[in-house]
Structure 1
Amino acid sequence: MKLYFLSLLLLLTLFNCKNDGNNAADNYAYFGGEIINPNSDYVVLSKSDVVIDSIKLDAKNRFLYKVNDLDAGLYTFYHGGEIQMVLLEPKDSIIFRLNTLEFDESLVFTGEGDKKNNYLINEFLENEIQEKKVFKFCQLKPHVYQNRIDSLKAFKLEKLNAFKTKYPTSELFNRIAKANIDFSYYSSKEVYPFVHFDENKEAILKSLPNNFYNYRSSIDYNDAFFKDHYHYSSFLRYTINNLALKDHLKHSTDNEVFKRSSLCYNMDKLKITDSLVKDGVVKNDLLQYFTINYLSKNKDVENNDVILNAFLSKSTDQKNNTLVKHYVASLNNLKEGASFPSVKLVDYNNNEVEINSLITTPTVVCFWSNTFYNHFKESHYKLNELKTKYPEVKFIVINIDNYGIEKPKHALKENRFKFKDEYQFKTPEASIEALAIQPMTKTIVVDKHQKIVYNNTNIFSINFEEQLLGAINRK
């Protein structure tokens, strides 16, 4: 592998040396890599939701692609359900290597342009670790909390300045790296009222220093440049959550503790999005995110059409609108008491079976994907525990991927999980839509008469076993 990359980098370096002129012909970049444990045989490269190309891996799971007429900036590469970004500028020759079992953690760049991208991916991973610290800090008093996150921001700026001193950087890189730090810091401010243990959110908002959200006046909520950027997108979501909270508390008549799952609060989020964000792409993505997020957790099916109509009145993206309408239709078909939908499965001996033919006792139906590998392992450990504890219950476990039978079969075998009651969908896309599988932790409990008892629970939930006993005791 090392010889391959050394040879490749040498060729790219020699090629670049012959084209040192500063002209349109130099407006290109090479992008390539090697993927260990690939989930599919291709990588999709895109920019701003526009697919540039679907690049096939060779027999050794490698690829090399030349981007002509380069629009310098952040590009997205997608493989088997995982997404990451790469910064491409003229005459870059960037090669990466990663293992899909630890997609982000294993990602390493080499070649011309590697330093800036390794900095960005390391910053991304460090930020994930720091987010856990920030959540703990959220239990502190507001002024103490602000001091802590101010210190985190200062440390990040120091690190960035040290990098810029050591390596030459472009204005584009500087802008992106600084935005990463800023938007991460702003997000820490926006999550504070929600993560703080005090359930009286109104009291928390009143306790904040007057200048706590001063930065909001300088924010561009329609930034086309950063609209695909992770930190910017997260910041917008957190901000709208927070602004909607303030509005919600003004008019809410609920005497109960604030609930993030309430229909009223989620309607407020759609209203804030519609009034605050004017850029069509940014607004439509946020509207879809908030709507799907509510629907995936909503227990009251009667509210599905209410939130759907509010979404459709504001969204102008017809593709998003169709997707959400189909999602709601599927959820409505999965009402508690309804018959479980007819879905065809395939076992690991390639035998086809209709799912309802398997349901003759109280049954738990749950799902997994190679993309969410940690969930795959943890859920199977939990299922093994539940199977021992409740032998009268059938557990049907379905891999939702569309990679063929060998990949999930290998994952099960490698982790010593039995094939019994393990299946794949015969038609993954149609079945995922029919069962409205979002999030991946979704679990459906069915009684012996093939009637849905719980349409959206979770095997890790503290009251899951209580729900299971309810299904067992049904007549």
Structure 2
Amino acid sequence: MIVNSLLSRKRNYLYIYCFLPVVALLLFSCEDPKNEETFLSGKIINPHKDYVVLNDFNGLNDTIPLAENGSFSKTYKNLGAGLYTFSHPHEYQSIYLSPGDSVTLRLNTKAFDETIAFSGNRSKENNYLINLYIEIEKEDRKFLKNYQLSHVEFKKTLDSITGARLSNLEKLSKEHQFDEEFVCHAKQYIEFSSWAKMERFALVHYGKNDFLRSDELPENFYSYRKEFKINQQALLNNIAYRPYVNALISNLSFSNLAKELGSGALVNRRSFKYHEKRLHIIDSLFSKGTIKDIYAANDTQQFIMNRKNASEINDLVAVFLKMTDDVELKKRITTMAATYIKLDPGNEMPNIVIQNTDKKSLLLSDRVTKLSVLYFWSDDEQEYAIRVHDKIKDLKIKYPEIDFISINLDNSDEDKWEEAYGRYEFNKEAEYQILNTSPVTAQLALRNDNRSMVIDKNLTIIDPSINLFHYQIETTLLGYINR
């Protein structure tokens, strides 16, 4: 459970995406931009939205429209050489561009990373990078058994893997004449992936109960921390940088709090104390600015979403507000906190307007007649839509005392919802859609489509954010039935 959560590498980016502009950052370049045009084109199969985005930190934040067939193209002048972030809703990847390039990519959103393929004069660099990413993702799962090794054998094994990847990079660089600048970024990519594993070692190897035994690790175990300057916001564009920083923050926060409490077993990673510690660590690692804002906002947001204690939410938000000078970001975090606090257990659920599959509109109070679970979904997340409906089929059979109500979040002025429930063969009698989604989704803090809520027949909120896939979900539901 611990390892799986630590290995997630895109989740945190999606949280950040909700609070800051869709940014991804240009890594530092050894050369000045040349007065040459750079051409980027491609095609998206099964697009989620009608656009893609190319970003850097020097002012480029470009939304490129998709044609009806999913194709796009754009010409840029004076782009510097380096890593950029190419993104499409819910997904992103680093790509390498330099002045005068003509790069084409193609992908299918149903397997975003696995289907990206590049052509053009930077295809060898970019195909190497995406193949390296996929290789590391796959081998990370096999690598888990190595966390049980002694710290000496663990580091020896990891150094061997890292060394082999660096040697292969050097070999391919000579063979395909990779850009020197690209090789610099690819090397950092490999190193970040290795360092993230080093940061995870203590908690995975010793576990919570024996975590303080990690004090036996030699002083040079984390020597790379001193050798590397982490506070470089340009590095945010390297897709391996963020997982490394997250692992570092988690390790330092857990370690500091475990020492304060006298045992790792007493550390609750959902608690106010732990998240307060994380914000203090972030504050110590980064100077005020983009990096600090991203990580502090992300952590504060996660706490707000998962806590049901208004006082603790306000206390953590107060810590966050001292860490940033971004007025707009402060407003967004405080607004989110206020929204979630209004949805605390015991408060009344907003009586939203919904429509059934016959396009008949009604108030939520007209539909809710007993203990109910509201589960929200969007066709933008097709895998989740199918998964949550399959889960509900099972829960409906086991708990007839509960009414499970499916509510779609897609634009009610379009036919997307009708096409979706027909394609998935969902039960039309159980499907509803929110009307005027924009103001309502903000009111309910429905920033993502995997929110589910428990309310009673009077629309009183019992659980504002229930996890339908939690291993103890049935115990939780039984508790609500018997309360």
With structure 2 as the length reference, what TM-score do the two structures score? 0.86
Shift of 1:288: 0.7
Contact 2:212 2:263 in 1 (8 A): no
Q: Does 1:67 align with 2:76?
A: yes
The 3 A distance-change label for structure 1 pair 310 and 112 is same
Shift of 1:190: 0.8
1:402-432 CA distances to partner (integer Å, 9 max, x unpaired)?
A: 5964444444333333333333433334333
Deviates more, 1:262-271 or 1:439-448: 439-448
Q: Does 1:211 align with 2:223?
A: no
What percentage of residue pairs aligned between the two structures are identical?
A: 30
Which residue pairs with 1:319 in the alignment? Answer: 328
Contact 1:222 1:279 in 2 (8 A): no
Contact 2:257 2:267 in 1 (8 A): no
Shift of 1:254: 7.6
Contact 1:360 1:450 in 2 (8 A): no
Superposition CA RMSD, Å? 2.6
Question: Pick from 191, 202, 206: which aligns with 1:193?
Answer: 202
Contact 1:224 1:279 in 2 (8 A): no
Shift of 1:275: 1.9
Alignment of 1:66-465 (within 5 A): 66-196=75-205, 198-252=207-261, 257-278=266-287, 280-402=289-411, 405-437=414-446, 440-465=449-474
Contact 2:206 2:213 in 1 (8 A): no
Separation of aligned partners in 2, 1:401 and 1:469? 31
Unaligned runs of 5+ in 1: 1-21
Which residue pairs with 2:7 in the alignment? Answer: none
1:121-177 CA distances to partner (integer Å, 9 max, x unpaired)?
A: 122222222332344432333223223322321232233123213211112211110
The 3 A distance-change label for structure 1 pair 282 and 133 is same
SS in 1 for 2:76: strand
1:59-111 CA distances to partner (integer Å, 9 max, x unpaired)?
A: 32211110122132222233233323321111111111112222222221112
Deviates more, 1:459-468 or 1:69-78: 69-78
Unaligned runs of 5+ in 2: 1-30
Separation of aligned partners in 2, 1:263 and 1:161? 46
Shift of 1:462: 2.0
Q: Does 1:54 align with 2:63?
A: yes
Shift of 1:205: 1.9
Shift of 1:197: 6.2
Separation of aligned partners in 2, 1:352 and 1:444? 21
Shift of 1:362: 1.1
Shift of 1:226: 0.7
1:303-328 CA distances to partner (integer Å, 9 max, x unpaired)?
A: 10010100001122222211111111
Shift of 1:399: 3.4
The 3 A distance-change label for structure 1 pair 371 and 193 is farther
Separation of aligned partners in 1, 2:380 and 2:343? 25
With structure 1 as the length reference, what TM-score do the two structures score? 0.87
Contact 2:209 2:263 in 1 (8 A): no
Aligned-partner residue type, residue 204 of structure 2: V
Shift of 1:36: 1.4
Separation of aligned partners in 2, 1:235 and 1:337? 40
Contact 2:351 2:365 in 1 (8 A): yes
SS in 2 for 1:356: helix
Aligned-partner residue type, residue 416 of structure 1: E
Which residue pairs with 2:4 in the alignment? Answer: none
Higher relative contact order (CA 8 A, sep 6+): 2
Separation of aligned partners in 2, 1:467 and 1:364? 12
Separation of aligned partners in 1, 2:314 and 2:256? 23
Separation of aligned partners in 2, 1:412 and 1:147? 52
Shift of 1:397: 2.3
Separation of aligned partners in 1, 2:32 and 2:273? 56
Shift of 1:269: 1.2
Separation of aligned partners in 2, 1:409 and 1:155? 52
The 3 A distance-change label for structure 1 pair 125 and 178 is same
Aligned-partner residue type, residue 124 of structure 2: K
Contact 1:40 1:403 in 2 (8 A): no
Separation of aligned partners in 2, 1:24 and 1:316? 31
Q: Does 1:40 align with 2:32?
A: no
SS in 1 for 2:375: strand
